[in-house]
Amino acid sequence: MRTCVGAALCLLGIAAAGASATAQGPAGDAIPRLLRSGDPAGALKLLDEALAQVPRDPRLWTLRGLALTQMDRADEGLAAYRTALSAEPGYLPALQGAAQLEYRSRSPEAERILERILTVEPANVVAHAMLGALAYDRQDCSTALSHFDRAQAAIRGNAQALWQAAHCLFVLDRPADAARAFQQVLDIGGLGSTPSDLVVFNLALSLHTAGQQDQAIAKLEPLAAGQQPDRDVLALLADAYAAHDDIEQAIATLRRATTLYPRDEHFYVALGALCLESDSFELGREIIDVGLTNVPDSARLYALRGVIHAQLGAFDMAQADFERVSALEPRQPAAIAGLSLTLQQTGQAEQSLALLRDQARLRPDDHIGNLLLAQALLRSAPDEAELSEARRALLRAVAAAPRAPQVRTELGKLFLKTGETQEAIEQLQQAIDLDGSDKTATNHLLLALRRAGRVEEAQKLVVRIRSLLDQEKASEVARNRFRLVKAEPDAERNR
């Protein structure tokens, strides 16, 4: 007899374990046989007769709990298991039976009973699997994975448990492992009523996040081949193409997406961002203009167009776009940043500084705002008060975003300016650890090392700077080799 619980995990052997040591005589042999043959009522009658003779036998109470559970009398079955445990607290079949019922109802007692099972039998894979599922329910992925790892034999063929493990692996930044688990879900036939396309999408997302773009694209292209593919599929496929340096396919995918979903701002933003990266500012502006026709109140599109206008030198138009963003989303950081930079470029430095100070006061944990404030303060010859204000802004920025390399680069430069060489070296080295291609941090670290008399380290850095220059040349060649081809927006876009 197999008694199954949620997530298709089964507690095995309750009836067999009970039968092996139950009351002696014909009744003792008949009870398990009746349970196995699907006659729990007959078994219950014999159990009541046997319990009248041996009222504290935990094996009989465990079999009674099983009979009542088969008769859909779960509350009475649980009471029977508890009676068995009151007679013998470590009796494993009773613990398993109680755990099954508590788990099925997601009772708070389920976890405690499962932990008791592991005290008696530490390698019980089913108990580990059930504890993993309970931890998943409360979004405790670290605990869930620790149990799933010990329950491989129980979850290997269980799609729901594998799905939960895959989800947790992704959440805990282990995308390659998550991809393998999602592939296992597909290999055993999917996840019941869940569409297989969803499993494939999550597999592709994991592969993309793990940097395995070829495989991600291979999974996504069939999903995108239909007449009306899901918008998330198109967005992820475009991201994968771009990450694979196949910009032409990325743009084609996004153009198709804007045709199919003309009111989805994400696709226009993604297209505009690709144009910015490729220095195709005119095409980017045209795409954003089309987007604003379909999504007229998109702050993100106005912000992006403001950046493009600034790149084209159309500062009045950039300022108008950023002011429009502020009207749509007051105190939106991107708008403040864009407007402040535009003010600086048009010679309105004091207005820009006032705006950034106001932003830093209202949003002290915004590392971008604090970074821009510090950069504005340091742009011309700062006095002591401005140096102190810039330092405070950068320290706030580092506290808010300790893994943002540009923030540490600016703080390192400030320390170098104020003669705090060791502090400068520490910040600049951390910036390079976070972003090995940061030329600004590398160049300033070279200055700091030479100032500190660390000649050998400085010489090693010279070699690294030459390597970065070679990489930059190669990137520029690749950029010049590619030119965005201007194409008329699809007629369907304006339907």
Per CATH, which fold does 1-121 belong to? Answer: 1.25.40
Joined tokens for residue 261 = 């979903």
Give CA–CA dist 169/30, Å, rounded.
48
Give CA–CA dist 312/448, Å, rounded.
36
Joined tokens for residue 337 = 């940043």
Q: How many helices (H) and strands (E) does the chain have?
A: 28, 2
CA dist 267 → 33, 37, 120, 262, 287 (Å): 65, 61, 56, 9, 10
Superfamily of domain 403-495: Tetratricopeptide repeat domain (1.25.40.10)
Q: How many residues does the chain have?
A: 495
CA dist 75 → 6, 98, 204 (Å): 17, 10, 44
Digit-coded pLDDT (tens) for 428-459: 999 888 887 777 787 788 778 888 888 787 77
Give CA–CA dist 148/444, Å, rounded.
48
pLDDT string in tens for the chain (495-residue length): 233 333 323 333 433 344 334 444 445 678 888 888 888 898 888 888 888 888 888 888 888 888 888 888 988 888 888 888 888 888 888 888 887 887 787 888 888 888 888 888 888 888 888 888 888 888 899 999 999 999 888 888 888 899 999 999 999 999 999 999 999 999 988 776 667 888 999 999 999 999 999 999 999 999 999 889 999 999 999 999 999 989 889 989 999 999 999 999 889 988 888 887 778 888 889 999 999 999 998 888 887 887 787 778 776 787 687 678 767 775 555 555 555 555 555 566 676 667 677 777 777 887 877 888 887 778 777 888 888 988 998 999 899 889 988 889 889 989 988 899 999 999 999 988 888 777 778 778 877 888 888 878 777 766 666 665 555 545 544 443 333 333 333 333 333
Report CA dihedral (83, 87, 91, 95) to the nearest 10 degrees.
20
Give CA–CA dist 208/91, Å, rounded.
48
472 sits in which H/E element: helix 455-481
Joined tokens for residue 62 = 């465990």
What is the location of CATH 1.25.40.10 in the chain?
A: 1-121, 403-495
Give CA–CA dist 16/39, Å, rounded.
16
Query: What is the β-pairing status of strands 2-4 and 10-12?
Result: antiparallel
pTM tops 0.85: no
User: What are the beta bridge partners of residue 3?
Assistant: 11
